[in-house]
Chain A
Amino acid sequence: MSAIRIAAVGDVHVDEDVLGRYRPALDQLGDRADVLLLAGDLTRHGTADEARCVATEFGGLAVPVIAVLGNHDYHSDEQDAVAKILTDGGITVLERSSTVLDVGGVRLGVAGVKGFGGGFAGRCTSEFGEPETKAFARHGREAADALGYCLRSLDCDVRVALTHYSPIPETLVGEPLEIYPFLGSYHLAQAIDSAPTALAVHGHAHAGTERGLTPGGVKVRNVAHPVIRQAYSVYELDPADLPVPA
């Protein structure tokens, strides 16, 4: 089986003023990668108009495009319209769901969820106290549970987890410690480690760090645009080096 090249970027915050900026680099994707992953915060305010700009900028590429939405994409309560516009533009939008692509005979499975905050082991929220606190903790845990289920259910050769929020604190280094609970949740890492996942990709933390590992040893990459400072990063996975399902 040949190696798979995965391009990824998040937090592109597209609106009319960004149209065309990414296109010169995106037009070279066919020579550089097999798939493009978009790690959420594709828009500024989550409006249908902005989603049309995203579909224009990231649609019609030489490779399949798979996305999750981020918190900005929910801001105007138009997330369903945003997802539909992207889908109509040929972008596969995942939320508590997965997809499998054939990449040169290798079955690449991608499970995606926006995820949520909650914090990291020993320093996290719990379902205790006021309804608002319980709802905050529950939303993060349910998103992570769904991601774990999707990853474990995938029938594929190579598994990738795509989220907006971070599964680990290492890729948040550079952000103020005080806001870590709003940037990710260790339950996402638990979900990723519950399956033989090859790579986890997220965004959200603009001042974070690109590289980290889950406690189970899965490589994590923060592809927030201000972190990678290029149109996309490309990661190559060789199926021969990847974990084998137990």
Chain B
Amino acid sequence: MNEYTEGEVQHLLAEDPRIAEQGIRVVRVDDGMVLVGEVESPDRCAQIEAVLREAFPGLKVRCDLGITRVGVPQEVERL
């Protein structure tokens, strides 16, 4: 994957209405790319992978995306 493809992927992540994510980092690796970051639901991980595979069929896409935790805070910060 070259720099121009990386740029196209970044545009797609933000501008494709099925994704609309601006907080995902694209990491170029020897055999393709890895997406790193966090999203709000498991459905969104699957959707991102599907859209990228559709747009770049020849590119190996791996997702290392987490689902942002929604636990109750364990502490209060006193300011």
Contact = CB atoms under 8 A, between A and B. Distances in A.
Given A17-B43, A18-B41, A32 B73 contact: yes
Contact of B23 (A5, A24, A207, A230): A207
A61 to B, nearest CB: 14
Interface string B11-32: 0000001001011010000000
Interface string A214-240: 000001000001100111111111100
A178 B39 CA distance: 23
Contacts of B37: 206-207, 226
B38 A226 contact: yes
Contact of B70 (A11, A22, A237): A22
Interface residues of A, number: 36
Contact of B17 (A13, A45, A230): A45
B56 to A, nearest CB: 22
Interface residue SS majority, chain B: loop
A234 B73 contact: yes
Contacts of B73: 32, 230-234
Nearest to B25: A207
A232 B38 CA distance: 16
A212 to B, nearest CB: 13
29 contacts: A5-B76, A13-B40, A17-B43, A17-B44, A21-B40, A21-B41, A21-B70, A24-B72, A25-B72, A32-B76, A45-B17, A45-B20, A75-B20, A198-B79, A206-B22, A206-B37, A206-B38, A207-B23, A226-B68, A229-B69, A231-B70, A233-B73, A233-B77, A234-B75, A235-B78, A236-B76, A236-B79, A238-B78, A241-B79
Interface of A: 5, 11-15, 17-18, 21-22, 24-25, 28, 32, 44-45, 72, 75, 198-199, 206-207, 219, 225-226, 229-238, 241
